[in-house]
A and B are shown apart, each in its own frame.
Chain A
Amino acid sequence: MPIYPLMPPLFAAVTLIGALVGWAVWRNAGLPGRRGAFVVAPAALLGPLLTMVPLGSCTFEPGRTGLDVGVGVVAFCAGSAVLVAAAAWIGRALSMPGGAANLDDRADASTFRGGAPVSLLLLLPTLVVLAVFLYWPLAETLRLSAQRTRRGNPIERFICVDNYTALLGPSLEWWFVVPLVALVVVAAVAWMLRNGDLSRLRLTRRVRGWLLGAVLVTGAASLFGATYRSVFTTTMILSGGTVLIGLAAGLGIALLVSQPIKGRAVYRTLLIWPFAISPPIAGILFFVMFDPLTGIAGHLFEALTPWQMPNYRTDPVLARGLVIVASVWKTLGFTILFYIAGLQNVSKNMLEAARLDGANAWQRLRHFILPALTPITFFLVVTNVTYAFFEIFGTIDYLTKGGPSGATVDAMTSVVLAQEWTGDGAARSLILFAMVLAVTAWQFRVTGRRVHYGQ
């Protein structure tokens, strides 16, 4: 791996940051901070090699564009971050009393009688499967994303990060600047109010949270070039729509069928039905129903109203809407099932007490039922987001094929559409991977704080 002039300062910077992280982590655990700095700093120094050695540090070659260098810095820091996280996690556990046992997340974790060799032997089949079907393909995807190569004719040519820079094209847009300015203002207000009125402080903090989310999403969008930006926006609209509408509708229907009504077992079974259908079948069903010439939806619409049914296949807004409706319909059964189960566990006594204290139906829902359902909601958000990112593709493929004019090409569909150019597809799938990582991190941070598991 050649070393270019830009790299020594980067190495120095990540080493320094690694030392600071180690110091802070060790201090936080009540350990001497200097020892942490000595453990983590070398990891931070070596981490960039993870990405820079395979790339031959090509992004820092003289004559590269600013975009290449930018992607290079991200790859450089990502490698460092991976090793820093590992070193901080394992190193801290080992230096605390109890050693490796600290890596178990529960105090009552037990050990095998035969010790580590036996447990490793028993884990081996799983590890082999993971390595062959998960880690090796991931490594191969990383490698391919730096190649120019085509499906069906396996010549490869190393092209550095061109597959990534082709998707990027940062620009400063008003829709990024406005939330950013608002965030700064609200954060300043929250800081000024920090000792003041509690309810106003809580409101500003909530607004700050929303604005932070908006800044992150718009910031990510403004990094991409025109083509991939539309893919990113579509992904956000489709997954956001599917998850939010799906959860709201699922909860509403679950509340209704939890009422003591005649034959509710039948309703429940019928409602859960669509879950057994695969996403492509949902796509085909909606495709046939909403066909502009022969679809039954159009016939009903034109029989009941004086207007012509608009054609979703030539209207971007309707196309996205229909993809969301089809996806929601498909997952609704799953959501309803879990909410029904959750509702059965809401304490009757608590609701009774609330009623006697004069809480109306809305207040009981808002302050008792919803908080009691948070574990279920958290679980459903995770599964629905996964579904929205990875499986809506099946519906899109049959319903719109990504049209009209790319309005329903989400991140997953764009990977599939790039199928001729494998390297490009690999880069796209790693961007999708980064999106899912970000969403997962956000889920655990935000939802984790608001989930109540009783007790």
Chain B
Amino acid sequence: MRLKRTVTAAAVALSLLATSVACSKSDDAKGDGQIDVWIAFTDYRLDWAKQRADEFHQKHPKYTVNIQGYDSYEVLFDAVTGAVQKGSPPSIVQYFEAATQDARDAVDKDGQPLFVSVEKAINGRADVLGEPVVLNDVVDAARNYYTVNGEFTSMPWNTSTTLFYANKNLATKAKVDKVPQTWAEIKEACGKIMKLADHPKHCVSWPNHGWFPEQAVAEQGGLIADNDNGRSARAKKLNLTSPELLNFVKFQKGLYDSGDYYYSGKQNDWDGPKNAFAAQEVAFLMTSAGDATAIVKDGQTGGFGVDVARMPYNGDVPYAGNLIGGATLWLTAGQEKGKEDASLAFMQFLNNPTNAASWHKTTGYVPITKAAGAQLETEGWYKDHPYAKVATEQLALTNGSPAATGVLLGSFVSIRAVVTQAIEDVLVSGADPDKRFAEAQLAAQKLLDDYNSLYGG
């Protein structure tokens, strides 16, 4: 009896082993037609990408595109690190804009660059595997951001910018007849709105995220780092004590101290301000253009109209431009030619006018190519959704200077954390902006120095 049981157990174990070996073999057997694409979305945006992958497979039956979604960019980077150490990185990786310097410095396990420039890989071709190249048609703001040393290194995909949202009903009631365009106008409008008998708890809100001060500095034409914001050479020296940055911090502190600005109390909290706007606890909201569709819908549900306008700027200095946000697709180096071309072809397919227009309608990200914008125009999309055009128009206002293009920094995520912490201390703990940002400058500069000591040659 006991012998029988032992034999059965051994047989089961063996068959399990055999199956798993067979399975792993069959994975390998699928071979070179597999294009692995790793992105940091797990919601409807992942579904959208998977549908495009299926369509690509139908057009090019030789290749199967496997889209793998990850919870966040950090988790995605960890997965890429693991895959690189195993020697099997995916073909295409999505990195967010603040990690551009990281992607440029990323190496494989032999110390060779992990990614290859998309422009170089395309090498002037007009189409790859029959997919027309759209890289050259990308809107200027995104092209400038991801172009370094004259080379367009990656294929932009989801791109947004910061916009300003106004509650039409509250504005009308307070006789604010036009959406504030400058910081001074925000103060003025808030003064009127907070005088209403049934005024909202606060007047305006935006997330405490590094992106917003960066936008404000760009608008005023200020630089965050040396070497033309890290664009003519690697950034070595940060500047977090510039008048441009402190102007914005003091403006925000003024609004907070007067009770006009609502701080949700958490750093990098995108939902808090948005929910406050939806609940009509604030009259104005500043946040990503990617949320435009959702916010307009919130207004319809809550019974109020929403005006979508460009991000307000400092009216006392000339306007230079606004930055993009979002993410871009990087091409892994060292793939064999056929696979590399298939990866390039998929990047072009994903952003062709039809798909880019569909992506814009699904998510609210800006139409990434001019052709996609033109197609939306002819379709009459903007007639029904006028707010959808504001982001594109805002990005077109840029003067193209390094300040308005945005900074490239190593350890950018940690540096942003230093900035948001300093802003929180200024708002909540009443720290003096000049003193607090002098401290932040030291801490952030150390992060950049540490980063450059690892990657800066």
**Contact surface of A with B, Cβ cutoff 8 Å:** 148-155, 157, 292-294, 311-314, 316, 400-406, 417, 419-421
B424 touches A404 (CB 8 A): yes
- CB contacts (< 8 Å) of A419 on chain B: these are 74
Could you pull out 10 A-B pairs where Cβ atoms are within 8 angstroms?
Answer: A151-B74, A152-B80, A153-B81, A154-B81, A293-B201, A312-B265, A313-B266, A401-B266, A405-B424, A419-B74
- CB contacts (< 8 Å) of A150 on chain B: these are 411, 451, 454
Number of interface residues, chain B, beta carbon within 8 A: 40
A401 touches B81 (CB 8 A): no
B32 at the binding interface (Cβ < 8 Å): no
- CB contacts (< 8 Å) of A417 on chain B: these are 417
Instruction: Indicate which residue in B77, B107, B427 contacts A155 across the interface (CB closer than 8 Å).
Output: B107
B275 at the binding interface (Cβ < 8 Å): yes
Report Cα–Cα, A314/B429, bound state, in Å. 8
Given contacts A153-B455, A401-B266, A420-B413, contact A148 B450 (CB under 8 A): yes
B453 at the binding interface (Cβ < 8 Å): yes
- CB contacts (< 8 Å) of B455 on chain A: these are 153, 155
Min CB distance A20 to B, Å, is 43
B454 touches A155 (CB 8 A): yes
- CB contacts (< 8 Å) of A311 on chain B: these are 265
- CB contacts (< 8 Å) of A421 on chain B: these are 411, 414, 447, 450
- CB contacts (< 8 Å) of B269 on chain A: these are 401
Interface string of B401-442 (1 = CB under 8 A from A): 000000000010110010001001101110000000000000
A293 touches B454 (CB 8 A): no
Greatest chain A CB density within 10 A among B77, B81, B102, B428 is at B428
Report Cα–Cα, A68/B417, bound state, in Å. 28
B106 at the binding interface (Cβ < 8 Å): yes
A152 touches B265 (CB 8 A): no
**Contact surface of B with A, Cβ cutoff 8 Å:** 74, 77-78, 80-81, 84-85, 102, 105-107, 201, 262-269, 275-276, 279, 281, 411, 413-414, 417, 421, 424-425, 427-429, 447, 450-451, 453-455
Instruction: Indicate which residue in A152, A294, A316 contacts B78 across the interface (CB closer than 8 Å).
Output: A152
Report Cα–Cα, A378/B121, bound state, in Å. 66
A152 touches B424 (CB 8 A): no
Greatest chain B CB density within 10 A among A153, A294, A417, A421 is at A153
Min CB distance B118 to A, Å, is 20
- CB contacts (< 8 Å) of A400 on chain B: these are 265-266
- CB contacts (< 8 Å) of B85 on chain A: these are 154
- CB contacts (< 8 Å) of A151 on chain B: these are 74, 77-78, 81
B265 touches A406 (CB 8 A): no
Report Cα–Cα, A417/B421, bound state, in Å. 12
- CB contacts (< 8 Å) of A313 on chain B: these are 263-266
A403 touches B266 (CB 8 A): yes
Report Cα–Cα, A405/B440, bound state, in Å. 13
B417 touches A293 (CB 8 A): no
Report Cα–Cα, A22/B59, bound state, in Å. 79
A403 touches B267 (CB 8 A): yes
- CB contacts (< 8 Å) of B264 on chain A: these are 313
Min CB distance B423 to A, Å, is 10
B428 touches A314 (CB 8 A): yes
Given contacts A157-B453, A157-B454, contact A420 B414 (CB under 8 A): yes
Min CB distance B319 to A, Å, is 32
Report Cα–Cα, A294/B276, bound state, in Å. 8
Min CB distance A407 to B, Å, is 9
- The 6 closest A-B CB pairs, nearest first, are A313-B265, A152-B77, A404-B428, A405-B429, A293-B281, A420-B414
- CB contacts (< 8 Å) of B428 on chain A: these are 314, 403-405
- CB contacts (< 8 Å) of A292 on chain B: these are 265
- CB contacts (< 8 Å) of B413 on chain A: these are 420
Min CB distance B69 to A, Å, is 18
B265 touches A294 (CB 8 A): no
- CB contacts (< 8 Å) of B77 on chain A: these are 151-153
Instruction: Indicate which residue in A149, A404, A420 contacts B265 across the interface (CB closer than 8 Å).
Output: A404
Report Cα–Cα, A316/B447, bound state, in Å. 27
Report Cα–Cα, A376/B268, bound state, in Å. 42
- CB contacts (< 8 Å) of B107 on chain A: these are 153, 155
- CB contacts (< 8 Å) of A149 on chain B: these are 454
Min CB distance A163 to B, Å, is 10
Greatest chain B CB density within 10 A among A148, A293, A400 is at A293
